[in-house]
Structure 1
Amino acid sequence: MEKRYKEISFFDFQKQYKTQEDCEKKLFEIRWPQGFVCPVCGHQKYYLISGRKLYQCVSCKHQTSLTAGTVMHRSRTPLLFWFWTIYLVSTDKRGISALGLSKKLGLSYWKAWTMLHKIRRAMGDRDSTYQLAGIVEIDDAFFGTSQKAKSKRSKRGRGTSKTVVLVEVSLYDNAVGFAKMTVVGSKVDSETIDQVIKADIKGVQTVKTDGLPAYAVVSKSGHTHQQEIVKGKNAHEVLKWTHMLISNAKSFLLGTFHRMGKKHLQSYLDEFCYRFNRRKWESQLFDRLITACTISRAICFAELTQ
């Protein structure tokens, strides 16, 4: 049965989640909507070890916590802070920076940074389960910021550090559907395109691209390929929606985060796409995102920084 997400306003959020206990109740409902089920043996009766906040199965004695296996696993940050962070991320289309979050909630910068990246990982995990259908536009774009040349001997003055991103968006009767953005490195080749479309496009669809020779692999993959050579200012007309998404994504990144390296670019793009893909359900975004954070796999700080 498909989960029905609830709408929540700012004042409703404040009323419903005043305490740690309120947040624990919500997580319990998400993890076990029909009542507790032991993750090991499936038994439904348990004891609550209140001092350690653990649920112990009556049958096999396995102990589990509310946050076990979630992005909040082993976090020492109170759930109330997690809930506020998830609410702030889900309700502001501009996103929130680690510095901004640390100031709002009185957290250290690195604690705020870690929480935000764990939430972005949940966003990416959630969208990775969906595939594109209908007419699919694909285009590539360079993301990056200018930087000073590393060598003082360089005569080029200022150079650029750019990363290539493959952007895909589905269309139904000229209405925008779902979008995906994938960091692919320093160039686009046919092998990379083939891997991305096999992962992201469902079955056989109509795919629109520009005239880049590497896109010839689209038809070899069995899709109907509409390829058109784009000249200068006509690009936004031929691939209208991918160009709109690229422009909006760059404004989102530069406006809120100012600059980021290639290492974490994918996670910021995952956040942008997650919010864009749910633009029709803005009032449900908190409920959707808290659910995504609960069912997404646990990830530690070392994995985020390696």
Structure 2
Amino acid sequence: MHDNAILRIVKIMQPTLNDSYVINRHKYLLYNKYFATIMYSMRYTIKDFRRDFPNDDVCLDTVFKERYGDIDTCPSCGVIGTHFYRVKGRKCYACEWCGYQLHPLAETIFHKSSTPLTSWFYAIYLFSVSKNGVAAKELERHLGVTYKTAHLMARQIRSLMAQADGGLSGTVEADETYIGGHRRSTARWENKSPVLGVVERGGEVRAKVTIGANASTALPFLRNNVEKDGFIMTDDSKVYHRLKREYGHDVINHSEKKYGRGIVYTNTIEGFWSQMKRSIDGTYHAVSPKYLQLYVNEFVFRYNLRGVVVYPALLERASKPVESIL
């Protein structure tokens, strides 16, 4: 696996609200003993999954190790070199000296769920290997749960794919698109949800559902995601007419049927939009504006981890308290 692919994993997995979980490349490969070899082979199959996670006990041990690492100091009694043993019949671990208990599932997406951990892990696996997403009906069929449970699980897993802000530099492409609703001849994008996007060539993408695609929403979005040394390529939309005040900026004139002029083009971000829309139409058919950002995050997450095994990144996030994911 190329170094830049590993670094994409590290970059997207670094939580910003809890410095104790910041991961570097070396630590990530050593810590995730289940995946170090697999990540280099670029494959993680259902056979691998069944071997690694045969039952709920193994899944719980995995969450504990992902969340607490090689913990050897009790937060309560302070004894160094202690061992935390599994409490029989409960989903927690206790210090061998004072009995202080750690609950690895607390505040995670697994918290208070009656669904077996093996089913949760398999659902996460399905999301990790799918290029076009996983519908709740498909989860219902695979897991043998109700549609309501499958829908909730899918929404929780998508919440793991939240985007980080910032970090894009060099040559970037910005564009807007519209999703959902029905196009009308009187108002081209009425009932559709506008989405702003920006991608670093050879790097990551950021995308955000907004209340409107205009200069007043586009500029703050770009400020949050593009470094000041970034050079932004856009089409000739009025949405971007203020960019030259703050960034290097060049335009390709789509209104004149021109789609590229040397290095000036927006094909990368347009390709991302095209893939996302095909996946939404083919897998989900329709998406509520209320949850659209979750679906956008899902496809941003997959794009940013393209070329690498996604499962360890999702499992790492699933094992952390929800508020510390990003």
Give the alignment's TM-score, normalised by structure 1.
0.82
Q: What is the aligned partner in structure 1 of residue 191 from structure 2?
A: 161
Contact 2:252 2:258 in 1 (8 A): no
The corresponding residue for 2:266 is 239
* Cα 1:34–1:228 shift into 2, 3 Å: same
Out of 279, 287, 293, the residue aligned to residue 306 of structure 2 is 279
Measure the CA separation in 1 of the matches of 2:126 and 2:217. 35
2:307 corresponds to which letter in structure 1?
K
CA positional deviation for 1:20? 0.5
Q: Which of 278, 291, 295 is 1:264 aligned to?
A: 291
Q: 1:184 aligns with which of 201, 210, 213?
A: 210
- In structure 2, the residue matched to 1:72 is 110
Match of 2:230 in 1: 205
C-alpha distance in structure 2 between counterparts of 1:40 and 1:121, whole Å: 32
The TM-score, its normalising length taken from structure 2, stands at 0.77
1:69, CA displacement in angstroms?
A: 2.8
Shift of 1:230: 2.1
Judge conservation of contact 2:60–2:91 (CA < 8 Å) in 1: no
Report the residue type matching 1:99 in the other structure.
K
In structure 2, the CA distance between the partners of 1:294 and 1:267, relative to structure 1 (3 Å rule), is: same
- Deviation at residue 31 of structure 1 after TM alignment: 1.3
Q: Distance in 2 between matches of 1:142 and 1:94?
A: 19
Query: Kindly tell me: are residues 278 and 75 of structure 1, through their superposed partners in 2, closer, same or farther at Cα, counting changes over 3 Å?
Result: same
Q: 1:83 aligns with which of 121, 124, 133?
A: 121
In structure 2, what is the Cα distance between the partners aligned to 1:26 and 1:229?
52
Contact map agreement 1:193 1:217 (CA 8 A) in 2: no
Whether the aligned pair in 1 keeps the contact of 2:229 and 2:247 (CA below 8 Å) is yes
Cα distance in structure 1, aligned partners of 2:320 and 2:133: 22
Contact 2:133 2:283 in 1 (8 A): yes
TM-superposed CA distance for 1:102, in Å, is 0.5
Q: Distance in 2 between matches of 1:69 and 1:38?
A: 20
- Relative to total residues, which structure has the larger strand share, 1 or 2? 1
SS in 2 for 1:280: coil
Report the identity percentage. Answer: 27
Whether the 8 Å contact between 2:104 and 2:319 is mirrored in structure 1 is no
Candidates 48, 54, 63, aligned match of 1:12: 48
Query: Post-superposition shift, 1:259?
Result: 0.3
- Bigger mean CA offset, 161-170 vs 72-81: 72-81
Check conservation: 2:158, 2:298, Cα contact below 8 A: yes
Residue of structure 2 aligned with 1:112, choices 142, 150, 159 = 150
With over 3 angstroms needed to count, the CA separation of the structure-2 counterparts of 1:91 and 1:129, relative to structure 1, is same
1:67/1:233 CA distance change after superposition, 3 Å? farther
Q: What is the alpha-carbon distance in structure 2 between the residues aligned to residue 275 and residue 202 of structure 1?
A: 23
Gaps spanning 5+ residues in structure 1: where? 150-155, 300-306
Listed one character per residue, the Cα deviations across residues 41-86 of structure 1 (whole Å, up to 9, x for unaligned) are: 8766345433332234578865331112322222222111110000
The residue aligned with 2:318 is 293
For residues 249 and 303 of structure 2, what CA distance do their matches in structure 1 show? 26
SS in 2 for 1:279: coil
The answer for the alignment partner of 2:3 in structure 1 is none
Which residue does the alignment assign to 1:153? none
Displacement after TM superposition at 1:160 (Å): 5.5
Match for residue 34 of structure 1 among 70, 74, 85 = 70
8 Å contact kept, 2:196–2:207: yes
Structure 2 residue identity aligned to 1:109 = Y
Q: Hey, what's the Cα distance between the residues in 2 that align with 1:161 and 1:39?
A: 53
Maintained 8 Å contact 1:144/1:163:
yes
Query: 1:234 Cα deviation (Å)?
Result: 2.8
Match of 1:227 in 2: 251
1-structure distance, mates of 2:75, 2:59 = 21
Q: Distance in 2 between matches of 1:96 and 1:206?
A: 36
Secondary structure at the aligned position of 1:75 is classed as coil
Shift of 1:271: 0.8
Q: Secondary structure at the match of 1:146?
A: coil
Indicate if the aligned counterparts of 1:179 and 1:273 stay in contact, CA closer than 8 A: yes
Kept after mapping to 1: 8 A contact 2:169/2:230 = yes
**Gaps in structure 2 of 5+ consecutive residues:** 1-23, 39-43
Which residue identity lines up with residue 26 of structure 1 in the other structure?
T
Deviations 1:72-130 (A, max 9, x none): 22222211111000000000112110011001110111111111111111111xx3156
Equivalent position amino acid for 2:218 in 1 = I
CA root-mean-square deviation: 2.7
Correspondence for 1:303:
none
Count residues with an aligned counterpart. 280
The aligned residue for residue 7 of structure 2 is none
Contact in 1 for aligned 2:106/2:321 (Cα 8 Å): no
